[in-house]
Amino acid sequence: MAKAASKNAKVKDLKASADAKNWTKVIKAVRSPKTGAYTFKEGIIHKDKVKDFLAK
């Protein structure tokens, strides 16, 4: 028989999933000055700092 999940484990999972919603993956196209080709910068950024990432 399998063990039942404890209540504490469920609470930790809920907190982790709530915190994960504050992060987002951002992909930015950057043009190379030498070749003119586009490269992509990507990162996992906190949702409050997305505008700063895109402004750079």
| CA 55 from centroid of its chain's CA atoms | 18
Q: pTM for the full model?
A: 0.60
Q: From residue 21, how far is each of 25, 34, 37, 54 by CA, in Å?
A: 11, 38, 33, 19
Q: Domain locations in the chain?
A: 19-55
Residue 22, pLDDT score: 92
Q: What is the pLDDT along the chain (56 residues), one digit of tens a residue?
A: 566 666 666 667 777 777 888 999 999 999 999 999 999 999 999 999 999 999 98
